[in-house]
Amino acid sequence: MEYINNASTGAISSGSGAVNKILCCECGVPIEPNASNMCVPCLRSHVDITENIPKQAVIFFCRNCERYLNPPNEWVQCTLESKELLSLCLKRLQGLRQVKLVDAGFVWTEPHSKRIKVKLTVHGEVMSDVVLQQVFVVEFTVNNQMCDDCHRTEAKDFWRCMVQVRQKAVNRKTLFYLEQMILKHKAHENTLGIKPNTGGLDFFYATDAHARKMVDFLQAVLPVKVTNSKKLISHDIHSNSYNYKYSYAIDVVPVSKGSLVCLSKRLTQQLGHIAPVCLVSKVANSIHLIDPQTAQMAEVQNMAFWKSPFEAICNPKQMVEFVVMDVEIIRENQRKTFPGQGPVSHRHTLADVWVVKSSELGINDNTIHVKSHLGNLLKPGDYVLGYDLREANVNNADYEKLNADTVPDVLLIKKSYDKTVRKQSRNWKLKHLNEDIVVDTDIENEYNEFLEDLEEDPELRQNVNIFKDKNKQQIPVDTNDMDDPSVPRITLEEMLDDLVLEDEEMGDAS
């Protein structure tokens, strides 16, 4: 080993004396003494601190759900060149534990090349006190592999948990409302499949946690009753593990918007002495009732309903059309009130209305006097839908206990418009969980009634995503030349633009 004089090499001086330099044993370059007696380039050529780090690796990608495999069995959602994907790639390199990672970043590659390149900068210690820095690139090959959830989805018959939603009612408007609530809040994201069934829907899930999440959502948006059960599929006696299939039965309240109900005497007292025969104005997380004769409102919570359940004595299919002959508004000072009366609706106006059945118009002059809450909507010559309790076949124990003198002959429910004109001018649409839900004529008529309720009730529209119908011309409300300007409509400001992916058309154009 040859040492160099301080004068010829310019040795570094300090307070304690000069530091001598030596020649590299490989190339002869003057260096400061170290344990290897080699310069950094020669030391790097002899020692590779990345020899235990693989320069190529494989990661797995599911094309169906677009997730990457995080071993051993976790699938995570990552976008290209994201920190989540970088963390996933670094976990695949086992040799990184022997060096110190200084920097890491992506090298740009074509998105469709199925290659991901990561540039790494590491520090490694050699010869006990010499630290080397090295930069290298690791290439990851993206292989396609279907995840377990997508396997279950493709199998279609594999499920561990099922949520059965049922409603024992003649009208399905409450189920249509529930469908739109699920779509708006994306509560069906974890479902393996959705199957329409008689009186409701079936939701299938891979885990019990996802099913419980759906059950909690249903309990939050509608008054429901939940019943659960489980069935043993298999049992391993060696590991004492069990395999169950879980089922949740959801019973939705058997009433819908527009149904006429009869309350028990005890329930009417709890609701501010509302009339026993009242109308269901809305079904949300609770049942909203209104007395058509006094406009008194009441709200029945979930627990209160199942303690004292009631059914509809008349459904919207039994409505009869009447013609309004005369309307006389009842002033505020003329209303009859009593102590303990519940809240009164300010959206409605009480009026004395004289009506005649449309089928009897011109045949006889049997004018019927009705007290109605629709005084702000009706005028002579209008058509209105209502229930004729004189001809209704009601089979209800609470209704039979009522005094016949206190039961009104006719109750008016809502104003009637031309259904054909409303359907032709409807320039919006709704999305569905399953396109097979609306199939036969009865369900289609009930679905059209639900769409009419959306047009008439602004509060109901707040919980529904309404989309523009691209197949129909979008006409502003002010310029619409319909015969009746009082027909309720949905404005363009309340509609959403439907996202349509036109990849095929773009491919044809190119």
Q: Assess whether 66 and 82 both reside in one domain.
A: yes
Assign 501 a pLDDT band (cuts: 50, 70, 90).
very low
Q: How many residues does the chain have?
A: 510
Residue 17 lies in a domain: no
Residue 14 pLDDT: 45
Residue 477 lies in a domain: yes
When pLDDT is averaged across residues 223-239 and rounded to a whole number, the result is 88
What would the pLDDT profile of 348-370 be if each residue is shown by its tens digit?
Answer: 899 999 999 998 887 877 899 99
Residue 11 pLDDT: 44
Answer whether residue 439 shows pLDDT above 70.
no
Q: Assess whether 99 and 129 both reside in one domain.
A: yes
Residue 20 lies in a domain: no
Answer whether residue 505 shows pLDDT above 50.
no
Answer whether residue 16 shows pLDDT above 80.
no
Q: Assess whether 222 and 267 both reside in one domain.
A: no
N-terminal to C-terminal alpha carbon distance within the chain: 72
Residue 337 gets which letter from DSSP?
Answer: -
Q: Assess whether 383 and 443 both reside in one domain.
A: no
C-alpha count within 13 angstroms, C-beta hemisphere, residue 164: 13
Share the mean pLDDT of the chain.
84
Assign 247 a pLDDT band (cuts: 50, 70, 90).
very high
Assign 458 a pLDDT band (cuts: 50, 70, 90).
confident
Helix H or strand E encompassing 174: helix 173-185
When pLDDT is averaged across residues 216-234 and rounded to a whole number, the result is 92
Question: Where a domain ends, among 366, 387, 416?
Answer: 416
More confident residue, 15 or 303: 303
Residue 51 lies in a domain: yes
Q: Assess whether 105 and 211 both reside in one domain.
A: no
Answer whether residue 187 shows pLDDT above 60.
yes
Q: Assess whether 115 and 45 both reside in one domain.
A: yes
Residue 286 pLDDT: 93
When pLDDT is averaged across residues 219-233 and rounded to a whole number, the result is 92
Residue 111 pLDDT: 83
Residue 500 lies in a domain: no
Q: Assess whether 216 and 309 both reside in one domain.
A: no
Residue 419 pLDDT: 84
Q: Assess whether 286 and 348 both reside in one domain.
A: yes
Residue 244 pLDDT: 86
When pLDDT is averaged across residues 1-5 and rounded to a whole number, the result is 40
The structure's pTM equals 0.70
Q: Assess whether 372 and 393 both reside in one domain.
A: yes
What would the pLDDT profile of 276-331 be if each residue is shown by its tens digit?
Answer: 999 999 999 999 999 999 899 999 999 999 999 999 999 988 999 999 999 999 88
Q: Assess whether 197 and 346 both reside in one domain.
A: no
What would the pLDDT profile of 101-122 be if each residue is shown by its tens digit?
Answer: 999 999 999 888 999 999 999 9
When pLDDT is averaged across residues 486-510 and rounded to a whole number, the result is 61
Long-range contacts of 487-492 (CB under 8 A, 24+ apart): 487/417, 487/418, 487/421, 487/422, 487/425, 488/417, 488/455, 488/456, 489/425, 489/455, 490/428, 490/454, 490/455, 490/461, 490/466, 492/468
More confident residue, 227 or 21: 227
Distances (CA, A) of 403 to 276, 279, 341, 394: 11, 19, 21, 14
Distances (CA, A) of 28 to 5, 23, 37: 15, 5, 10
State percent of the chain over pLDDT 90.
41
Answer whether residue 509 shows pLDDT above 50.
no
What would the pLDDT profile of 474-494 be if each residue is shown by its tens digit?
Answer: 555 444 444 566 678 888 777
Residue 18 lies in a domain: no
Q: Assess whether 351 and 452 both reside in one domain.
A: no
When pLDDT is averaged across residues 207-233 and rounded to a whole number, the result is 93
**Of 31-35, 341-345, 397-401, which gets the smallest average pLDDT?**
31-35
By C-alpha distance, which of 412, 435, 281, 437 is closest to 345? 281
Answer whether residue 50 shows pLDDT above 60.
yes
Residue 426 pLDDT: 85
The domain total for the chain is: 4
DSSP-derived 3-state class of residue 444:
helix
Q: Assess whether 235 and 336 both reside in one domain.
A: no
Answer whether residue 417 shows pLDDT above 50.
yes
Say if residues 191 and 433 touch (Cβ distance below 8 Å). no
Residue 12 pLDDT: 44
Residue 135 lies in a domain: yes
Residue 224 pLDDT: 95
Answer whether residue 9 shows pLDDT above 50.
no
Say if residues 451 and 464 touch (Cβ distance below 8 Å). no
What would the pLDDT profile of 135-150 be if each residue is shown by its tens digit?
Answer: 999 999 999 999 887 8
For residue 79, what is the domain's CATH number? Answer: 3.10.450
What would the pLDDT profile of 382-401 be if each residue is shown by its tens digit?
Answer: 999 999 998 888 888 999 99
Helix H or strand E encompassing 171: none
Determine the structural domain holding residue 163 and report its residue range.
159-252
Residue 70 lies in a domain: yes
